[in-house]
Amino acid sequence: MHKIIISTVAVFISAAAAAETVQDVNKNVVIRQPYQIEVCADKAVSGDKTSDTLKGALVGGAIGNNITKNLDNGAAVGALLGGILAHNASKAVGGTKTVCNVETRYNEQIEQRYVYSIVTFMYEGREYNLQFVK
| pLDDT for the residue numbered 6 | 54
| pLDDT for the residue numbered 46 | 74
Kindly state the greatest CA–CA separation across the chain. 119
| pLDDT for the residue numbered 117 | 94
In b/e form, how buried is each residue of 6-24, taking b as 16+ CB within 10 angstroms? Answer: eeebeebbeeebeeeeeee
CA atoms of 79 and 126, how far apart (whole Å)? 99
| pLDDT for the residue numbered 33 | 97
| pLDDT for the residue numbered 10 | 55
| pLDDT for the residue numbered 8 | 55
Q: Average pLDDT by consecutive 10-residue portion of the chain (134 residues)?
A: 54 56 94 96 80 77 75 76 76 81 96 95 90 91
| pLDDT for the residue numbered 111 | 96
